[in-house]
Structure 1
């Protein structure tokens, strides 16, 4: 059982680790100043591809549930991330976003009845501290709108994770993933046109390669892993794994782009990884997580103590 859970955690962790490569791909391969266009091309074709492969459309309440989840996990999150990235230094945006696991833990306690433990709170605080050491700069300046957008992004992501756990889809994983990517991508289209105007008419081979990577690997593959992790683990456990993204992004910047890595940044990475390990461990005898659909009707809800 322990080995099975560890395997699920490691596989789920691949998603935020891959998302950590987005900065490198965006800066090195994609057209400049088009982050929302990249989000649309990343999500919408990936969603349509998964729907075509599974040949499943939502039924009944899953039409509006897919829209809500797609907005939270994809559309609204990407839009708020875009606003935060443009109005804040990257370090502040990442540090504010690192409160996501704490918000997820609170929402899980309120919505799912999960137990909010001191260990989870302390791990969340350590994660924020580690990310701040990793990416925050002393000369960074605050912007109220940017901070609000970054915090809003953390809130909608946490809400998306918790609701994805609460609403167990009867459809296959790839179909559900496709619905959310499609809904989120469609919601981003008008925002992209209003913010960035019409897309470019010419693309280089590098542009196409970058978009293909973001679409197939950075969306279709990784979001399937992410939602699979939400099915098998507690929302809090999954949300802590998102802290891997700034660690991977910093590591790639150091290895591939020749960016400096100070001792404080290295310490921050170790603190983040430590918080992840603590958040994923459970006391002996703690109950595991199960999806609502898998529980007998007469059985009480099983709570995972993250």
Structure 2
């Protein structure tokens, strides 16, 4: 059975609302939760970008059961990997073992703010590999010094360690990232239900490890309103990550998606309140071999009715996948 998750989408809601939403998701019976870690929304119409790690700390205290996870943090530009290790260890303690650290090579949209430039994808993956090594070593509790191609760590140590370090997930989109995830990750993260990604992950050591996907959805009893909202806030998602990782700001995403029509979005994402349509959108993930799927309800102000509907109708239907 595929586990169904809830996404705290920091681009479409403020920090207090996000905590309230994940409390509602726990109450509704979602199996886990994830949170995006951005400094910008993709589009101005989304309108938010609170600090994900503060939200996670509050969520860890406001909930008691639902697992938490970054989806995903980039540990190479805005954050030094030694700082990410400290944040993750602290979150694992606060959540009493419910936290997983999802990592990825980042998006220009968020990482450009520190003025470090935006190197080619293969360099970003080299940086991610070095960062994961540093984080793992920090989780050991020993003093760590490191002088590598991209990062320096001088006599660092984590003084507050959880009983078990948080599992590390690595986001993938192609062969090189799948190789890295299979070799270094405890789980794999993807946003597309491509079986070849999981096959490549398995071929490099990922067999038997969890695999987590994500799917945007837009629930509304008025299907037309759902399609309009999905188009307004999520038309950027149809561009694909190879393009989206390179764009520097919301204006670029707006321009890149200017010819995306509402009917294009409606064809790509489930919109409305037809449970069967939502189930069929999740099915490719299950058939590809994903063990978990985090749903994104589009629209920060439309979470409560979605959570009620999900508890009563959607989650019971998805349990049969």
Give the alignment's TM-score, normalised by structure 1: 0.25
- The structure whose residues are more often helix, as a share, is 1
Give the alignment's TM-score, normalised by structure 2: 0.24
Q: With a CA cutoff of 8 Å and minimum separation of 6, indicate the structure with the bigger relative contact order.
A: 1
- The structure whose residues are more often strand, as a share, is 2
